[in-house]
Protein backbone atom coordinates (compact mmCIF):
# COMPACT_ATOMS: atom_id res chain seq x y z
CA UNK A 1 0.00 0.00 0.00
CA UNK A 2 1.42 3.41 -0.99
CA UNK A 3 2.51 5.56 1.94
CA UNK A 4 0.71 8.83 2.84
CA UNK A 5 2.29 11.41 5.14
CA UNK A 6 0.21 14.05 6.91
CA UNK A 7 1.85 17.21 8.29
CA UNK A 8 -0.54 19.26 10.39
CA UNK A 9 -2.42 20.23 13.51
CA UNK A 10 -3.84 18.24 16.41
CA UNK A 11 -6.52 19.92 18.56
CA UNK A 12 -8.82 18.94 21.36
CA UNK A 13 -12.22 20.22 20.17
CA UNK A 14 -14.62 21.80 22.68
CA UNK A 15 -17.95 21.37 20.94
CA UNK A 16 -20.83 23.66 21.95
CA UNK A 17 -24.28 22.67 20.71
CA UNK A 18 -26.19 25.91 20.03
CA UNK A 19 -29.57 26.75 18.44
CA UNK A 20 -27.82 28.93 15.85
CA UNK A 21 -24.34 30.33 15.18
CA UNK A 22 -24.07 33.58 17.22
CA UNK A 23 -23.92 36.83 15.26
CA UNK A 24 -21.31 39.50 16.21
CA UNK A 25 -22.34 41.05 19.54
CA UNK A 26 -24.90 38.31 20.29
CA UNK A 27 -24.87 36.14 23.46
CA UNK A 28 -26.60 32.75 23.33
CA UNK A 29 -26.87 29.70 25.60
CA UNK A 30 -25.38 26.32 24.65
CA UNK A 31 -27.60 23.26 25.11
CA UNK A 32 -24.67 20.84 25.43
CA UNK A 33 -20.88 20.80 25.59
CA UNK A 34 -18.60 17.89 24.72
CA UNK A 35 -14.96 17.12 23.93
CA UNK A 36 -13.76 15.37 20.78
CA UNK A 37 -10.37 14.66 19.22
CA UNK A 38 -9.80 16.98 16.26
CA UNK A 39 -7.38 19.21 14.37
CA UNK A 40 -7.37 19.26 10.59
CA UNK A 41 -4.12 17.30 10.28
CA UNK A 42 -5.05 14.68 12.86
CA UNK A 43 -8.56 14.28 11.41
CA UNK A 44 -7.10 13.61 7.97
CA UNK A 45 -4.55 11.14 9.37
CA UNK A 46 -7.11 9.27 11.50
CA UNK A 47 -9.54 9.29 8.54
CA UNK A 48 -6.91 7.55 6.40
CA UNK A 49 -6.05 5.08 9.17
CA UNK A 50 -9.72 4.16 9.62
CA UNK A 51 -10.08 3.57 5.88
CA UNK A 52 -7.12 1.15 5.95
CA UNK A 53 -4.48 3.48 4.44
CA UNK A 54 -0.75 3.42 5.19
CA UNK A 55 -0.36 6.73 7.04
CA UNK A 56 2.16 8.54 9.17
CA UNK A 57 1.79 11.95 10.85
CA UNK A 58 4.14 14.79 11.74
CA UNK A 59 2.71 17.11 14.41
CA UNK A 60 3.17 18.65 17.84
CA UNK A 61 1.27 18.16 21.11
CA UNK A 62 1.47 19.56 24.64
CA UNK A 63 2.56 17.44 27.61
CA UNK A 64 -0.94 17.36 29.07
CA UNK A 65 -3.93 14.98 29.22
CA UNK A 66 -5.41 16.35 25.93
CA UNK A 67 -2.08 15.70 24.20
CA UNK A 68 -2.04 12.11 25.45
CA UNK A 69 -5.66 11.58 24.35
CA UNK A 70 -4.93 12.86 20.83
CA UNK A 71 -1.80 10.70 20.61
CA UNK A 72 -3.83 7.65 21.71
CA UNK A 73 -6.44 8.38 19.04
CA UNK A 74 -3.74 8.31 16.34
CA UNK A 75 -2.32 5.04 17.68
CA UNK A 76 -5.73 3.42 18.03
CA UNK A 77 -6.51 4.25 14.41
CA UNK A 78 -3.23 2.85 13.05
CA UNK A 79 -1.48 6.13 12.32
CA UNK A 80 2.33 5.89 12.55
CA UNK A 81 3.24 8.39 15.31
CA UNK A 82 7.05 8.46 14.95
CA UNK A 83 6.87 12.11 13.82
CA UNK A 84 4.77 13.34 16.76
CA UNK A 85 6.64 15.47 19.30
CA UNK A 86 5.45 16.53 22.79
CA UNK A 87 6.45 20.19 23.29
CA UNK A 88 8.26 21.13 26.53
CA UNK A 89 6.45 24.45 27.03
CA UNK A 90 3.23 24.85 25.04
CA UNK A 91 -0.15 23.22 25.75
CA UNK A 92 -2.05 21.09 23.24
CA UNK A 93 -4.03 23.08 20.66
CA UNK A 94 -7.75 23.65 21.21
CA UNK A 95 -10.64 24.40 18.90
CA UNK A 96 -13.85 26.02 20.16
CA UNK A 97 -16.62 24.83 17.88
CA UNK A 98 -20.26 25.99 17.78
CA UNK A 99 -22.57 23.48 16.07
CA UNK A 100 -26.05 24.73 15.21
CA UNK A 101 -29.33 22.79 15.02
CA UNK A 102 -28.87 22.77 11.23
CA UNK A 103 -25.45 21.08 11.60
CA UNK A 104 -23.53 24.20 10.52
CA UNK A 105 -20.43 25.18 12.48
CA UNK A 106 -18.08 28.02 13.30
CA UNK A 107 -14.58 27.32 14.65
CA UNK A 108 -11.98 29.30 16.60
CA UNK A 109 -8.59 27.59 17.03
CA UNK A 110 -6.08 28.36 19.80
CA UNK A 111 -3.00 26.71 18.19
CA UNK A 112 -0.85 26.03 21.30
CA UNK A 113 1.82 23.44 20.47
CA UNK A 114 0.82 23.38 16.77
CA UNK A 115 2.56 26.75 16.45
CA UNK A 116 5.86 25.09 17.46
CA UNK A 117 5.78 22.54 14.62
CA UNK A 118 8.77 24.21 12.99
CA UNK A 119 11.02 23.45 10.00
CA UNK A 120 13.56 22.02 12.48
CA UNK A 121 11.15 19.25 13.48
CA UNK A 122 10.45 18.52 9.80
CA UNK A 123 14.22 18.36 9.12
CA UNK A 124 14.71 15.93 12.02
CA UNK A 125 12.00 13.61 10.68
CA UNK A 126 12.68 14.16 6.97
CA UNK A 127 13.33 10.43 6.54
CA UNK A 128 9.59 9.84 7.08
CA UNK A 129 9.03 11.36 3.62
CA UNK A 130 11.13 8.62 2.00
CA UNK A 131 8.99 6.41 -0.20
CA UNK A 132 5.85 8.45 0.54
CA UNK A 133 3.57 8.82 -2.48
CA UNK A 134 1.34 11.59 -1.11
CA UNK A 135 1.73 14.36 1.48
CA UNK A 136 -1.35 16.07 2.99
CA UNK A 137 -0.90 19.51 4.47
CA UNK A 138 -3.14 22.36 5.75
CA UNK A 139 -2.62 25.86 7.20
CA UNK A 140 -3.10 25.38 10.98
CA UNK A 141 0.70 25.21 11.36
CA UNK A 142 3.35 27.92 10.72
CA UNK A 143 3.65 29.09 7.12
CA UNK A 144 7.45 28.62 7.00
CA UNK A 145 6.91 24.97 7.97
CA UNK A 146 4.40 24.56 5.12
CA UNK A 147 6.89 26.13 2.70
CA UNK A 148 9.66 23.82 3.90
CA UNK A 149 7.46 20.72 3.56
CA UNK A 150 6.49 21.70 0.00
CA UNK A 151 10.18 22.06 -0.83
CA UNK A 152 10.99 18.58 0.55
CA UNK A 153 8.06 17.08 -1.35
CA UNK A 154 9.31 18.63 -4.57
CA UNK A 155 12.82 17.22 -3.99
CA UNK A 156 11.54 13.76 -3.07
CA UNK A 157 8.83 13.73 -5.75
CA UNK A 158 6.00 13.29 -3.25
CA UNK A 159 2.62 14.46 -4.61
CA UNK A 160 1.09 17.17 -2.41
CA UNK A 161 -2.60 17.40 -1.51
CA UNK A 162 -2.90 20.90 -0.06
CA UNK A 163 -5.96 21.90 1.97
CA UNK A 164 -5.58 25.71 2.37
CA UNK A 165 -7.55 25.91 5.64
CA UNK A 166 -7.85 28.25 7.42
CA UNK A 167 -7.19 30.22 4.21
CA UNK A 168 -4.63 32.99 3.81
CA UNK A 169 -3.34 34.50 0.56
CA UNK A 170 -0.50 32.29 -0.77
CA UNK A 171 2.61 33.14 -2.80
CA UNK A 172 2.47 31.88 -6.39
CA UNK A 173 5.68 29.83 -5.85
CA UNK A 174 3.81 27.73 -3.28
CA UNK A 175 1.14 26.79 -5.80
CA UNK A 176 3.50 25.95 -8.65
CA UNK A 177 3.34 22.28 -9.69
CA UNK A 178 1.07 21.38 -6.78
CA UNK A 179 -0.62 18.06 -7.53
CA UNK A 180 -3.96 18.87 -5.87
CA UNK A 181 -5.43 21.89 -4.07
CA UNK A 182 -8.66 21.31 -2.07
CA UNK A 183 -10.27 24.57 -0.86
CA UNK A 184 -13.92 25.16 0.01
CA UNK A 185 -15.83 28.11 -1.47
CA UNK A 186 -14.69 30.59 1.22
CA UNK A 187 -11.09 29.47 0.98
CA UNK A 188 -10.85 29.79 -2.81
CA UNK A 189 -12.26 33.33 -2.49
CA UNK A 190 -9.39 34.25 -0.18
CA UNK A 191 -6.82 32.66 -2.52
CA UNK A 192 -8.24 34.47 -5.56
CA UNK A 193 -9.33 38.04 -5.00
CA UNK A 194 -12.03 39.84 -6.94
CA UNK A 195 -15.55 39.01 -8.01
CA UNK A 196 -14.72 36.20 -10.46
CA UNK A 197 -16.99 33.13 -10.71
CA UNK A 198 -15.94 29.86 -9.10
CA UNK A 199 -14.84 28.47 -12.46
CA UNK A 200 -12.83 31.62 -13.23
CA UNK A 201 -11.14 31.40 -9.82
CA UNK A 202 -10.22 27.75 -10.49
CA UNK A 203 -8.81 28.73 -13.91
CA UNK A 204 -6.74 31.48 -12.23
CA UNK A 205 -5.18 28.80 -10.01
CA UNK A 206 -4.61 26.45 -12.96
CA UNK A 207 -2.76 29.32 -14.66
CA UNK A 208 -0.48 29.43 -11.60
CA UNK A 209 0.38 25.79 -12.42
CA UNK A 210 -1.72 23.95 -9.87
CA UNK A 211 -2.38 20.61 -11.60
CA UNK A 212 -5.80 19.79 -10.11
CA UNK A 213 -8.27 21.77 -7.99
CA UNK A 214 -11.24 20.33 -6.15
CA UNK A 215 -13.54 22.95 -4.63
CA UNK A 216 -15.78 21.38 -1.98
CA UNK A 217 -19.30 22.81 -2.09
CA UNK A 218 -20.99 21.19 0.93
CA UNK A 219 -24.39 19.71 0.11
CA UNK A 220 -23.88 20.77 -3.54
CA UNK A 221 -20.98 18.31 -3.91
CA UNK A 222 -17.72 19.49 -5.47
CA UNK A 223 -16.09 20.86 -8.61
CA UNK A 224 -12.95 19.39 -10.21
CA UNK A 225 -10.86 21.63 -12.46
CA UNK A 226 -7.76 20.54 -14.38
CA UNK A 227 -6.36 20.72 -17.90
CA UNK A 228 -9.07 18.30 -19.08
CA UNK A 229 -11.75 20.86 -18.11
CA UNK A 230 -14.29 21.34 -15.34
CA UNK A 231 -16.58 18.66 -13.88
CA UNK A 232 -19.17 18.76 -11.10
CA UNK A 233 -19.89 15.84 -8.74
CA UNK A 234 -22.89 15.47 -6.42
CA UNK A 235 -22.63 15.08 -2.64
CA UNK A 236 -23.54 11.66 -1.22
CA UNK A 237 -27.14 11.53 0.04
CA UNK A 238 -26.79 11.95 3.82
CA UNK A 239 -28.54 14.28 6.28
CA UNK A 240 -26.23 16.67 8.22
CA UNK A 241 -26.12 16.44 12.01
CA UNK A 242 -22.68 18.07 12.36
CA UNK A 243 -20.50 19.06 9.39
CA UNK A 244 -17.29 19.35 11.50
CA UNK A 245 -14.52 17.30 9.89
CA UNK A 246 -16.42 16.78 6.61
CA UNK A 247 -13.69 18.48 4.57
CA UNK A 248 -10.99 16.51 6.41
CA UNK A 249 -12.71 13.18 5.84
CA UNK A 250 -13.27 14.06 2.15
CA UNK A 251 -9.50 14.61 1.80
CA UNK A 252 -8.73 11.39 3.70
CA UNK A 253 -11.03 9.50 1.32
CA UNK A 254 -9.40 11.10 -1.71
CA UNK A 255 -5.90 10.22 -0.51
CA UNK A 256 -6.77 6.59 0.22
CA UNK A 257 -8.49 6.08 -3.14
CA UNK A 258 -5.62 7.74 -5.03
CA UNK A 259 -3.04 5.68 -3.09
CA UNK A 260 -4.95 2.61 -4.28
CA UNK A 261 -4.33 3.81 -7.87
CA UNK A 262 -7.86 5.00 -8.63
CA UNK A 263 -8.32 8.01 -10.92
CA UNK A 264 -9.49 11.38 -9.57
CA UNK A 265 -13.13 10.85 -10.62
CA UNK A 266 -13.39 7.53 -8.75
CA UNK A 267 -11.51 9.01 -5.77
CA UNK A 268 -14.01 11.91 -5.59
CA UNK A 269 -16.97 9.51 -5.58
CA UNK A 270 -15.40 7.49 -2.74
CA UNK A 271 -14.45 10.66 -0.80
CA UNK A 272 -18.01 12.01 -1.11
CA UNK A 273 -19.37 8.95 0.68
CA UNK A 274 -16.68 9.19 3.38
CA UNK A 275 -17.60 12.86 3.97
CA UNK A 276 -21.33 12.10 3.77
CA UNK A 277 -21.07 9.49 6.51
CA UNK A 278 -18.98 11.87 8.65
CA UNK A 279 -21.71 14.52 8.81
CA UNK A 280 -24.24 12.03 10.22
CA UNK A 281 -22.50 12.07 13.64
CA UNK A 282 -21.28 14.70 16.13
CA UNK A 283 -17.55 15.45 16.55
CA UNK A 284 -14.59 15.32 14.19
CA UNK A 285 -12.65 12.09 14.80
CA UNK A 286 -15.53 10.19 16.50
CA UNK A 287 -17.59 10.59 13.32
CA UNK A 288 -14.98 9.38 10.80
CA UNK A 289 -16.19 6.14 9.14
CA UNK A 290 -14.18 2.94 8.78
CA UNK A 291 -13.72 1.11 5.48
CA UNK A 292 -16.39 -1.52 6.22
CA UNK A 293 -19.03 1.17 6.80
CA UNK A 294 -18.11 3.06 3.63
CA UNK A 295 -18.17 -0.19 1.63
CA UNK A 296 -21.76 -0.83 2.78
CA UNK A 297 -22.75 2.23 0.74
CA UNK A 298 -20.25 2.19 -2.10
CA UNK A 299 -17.66 -0.17 -3.55
CA UNK A 300 -14.66 0.99 -5.55
O1 LIG B 1 -11.77 20.71 10.16
C2 LIG B 1 -12.29 20.54 11.44
C3 LIG B 1 -11.24 20.82 12.47
O4 LIG B 1 -10.88 22.20 12.38
C5 LIG B 1 -11.66 20.63 13.90
O6 LIG B 1 -11.46 19.32 14.35
C7 LIG B 1 -10.86 21.68 14.64
O8 LIG B 1 -9.91 21.16 15.51
C9 LIG B 1 -10.25 22.57 13.58
O10 LIG B 1 -8.91 22.30 13.41
| Ligand 1 center to 76 CA (angstroms) | 19
Going by alpha carbons, the residue nearest to atom 7 of ligand 1 is: 39
Answer yes or no: is 260 within a domain.
Answer: yes
Residues constituting the chain:
300
Tell me which DSSP letter residue 184 carries. B
Q: What is the pLDDT along the chain (300 residues), one digit of tens a residue?
A: 899 999 999 999 999 999 999 999 999 999 999 999 999 999 999 999 999 999 999 999 999 999 999 999 999 999 999 999 999 999 999 999 999 999 889 999 999 999 999 999 999 999 999 999 999 999 999 999 999 999 999 999 999 999 999 999 999 999 999 999 999 999 999 999 788 999 999 999 999 999 999 999 999 999 999 999 999 999 999 999 999 999 999 999 999 999 999 999 999 999 999 999 999 999 999 999 999 999 999 866
Task: Name the pTM for this structure.
Answer: 0.97
Mutate to test the pocket of ligand 1, among 38, 46, 73, 183 (most ligand atoms within 8 A of CB): 38
Is 44 close to ligand 1, i.e. is its CB under 6 Å away? Answer: no
In ligand 1, the atom with minimum distance to the C-alpha of 248 is: 1
Answer yes or no: is 87 within a domain.
Answer: no
Answer yes or no: is 131 within a domain.
Answer: yes
**pLDDT in the model for residue 216:** 98
Going by alpha carbons, the residue nearest to atom 2 of ligand 1 is: 245
Per annotation, catalytic residue among 101, 248, 261, 290: 248
> Is 88 an active-site residue?
no
| Ligand 1 center to 10 CA (angstroms) | 8
Answer yes or no: is 75 within a domain.
Answer: yes
Backbone angles phi, psi at 178, to 5 degrees: -65, 135
**pLDDT in the model for residue 151:** 96
In ligand 1, the atom with minimum distance to the C-alpha of 165 is: 1
Is 248 close to ligand 1, i.e. is its CB under 6 Å away? Answer: yes
**How many folded domains does the chain comprise?**
1
Tell me which DSSP letter residue 239 carries. -
Answer yes or no: is 286 within a domain.
Answer: yes
Q: Dump strand ranges (E) for the chain.
A: 3-7, 11-17, 32-38, 54-62, 79-87, 93-99, 105-110, 132-137, 159-162, 180-181, 212-216, 222-226, 229-233
Answer yes or no: is 92 within a domain.
Answer: no
Q: Dump strand ranges (E) for 155-245.
A: 159-162, 180-181, 212-216, 222-226, 229-233
**pLDDT in the model for residue 137:** 98
Is 111 close to ligand 1, i.e. is its CB under 6 Å away? Answer: no
Which residue in 41, 37, 40 sits closest to 14, CA to CA? Answer: 37
**pLDDT in the model for residue 66:** 98
| Ligand 1 center to 284 CA (angstroms) | 7
CATH number of residue 264's parent domain: 3.40.1190.20
Answer yes or no: is 14 within a domain.
Answer: no
Which residue in 185, 182, 238, 177 sits closest to 214, CA to CA? Answer: 182
Is 244 close to ligand 1, i.e. is its CB under 6 Å away? Answer: yes
Answer yes or no: is 23 within a domain.
Answer: no
Domain that holds residue 254: 3-9+40-82+113-295
Amino acid sequence: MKKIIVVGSLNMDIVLKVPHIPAPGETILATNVSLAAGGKGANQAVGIGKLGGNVCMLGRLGQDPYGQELYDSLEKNKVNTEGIVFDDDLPTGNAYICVSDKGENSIVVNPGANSALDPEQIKKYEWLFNEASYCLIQLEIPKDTVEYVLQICQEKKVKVIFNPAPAKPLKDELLKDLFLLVPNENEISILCSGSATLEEKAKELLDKNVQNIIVTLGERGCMLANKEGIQYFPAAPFEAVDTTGAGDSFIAGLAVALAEDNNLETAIKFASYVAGLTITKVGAQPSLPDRKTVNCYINI
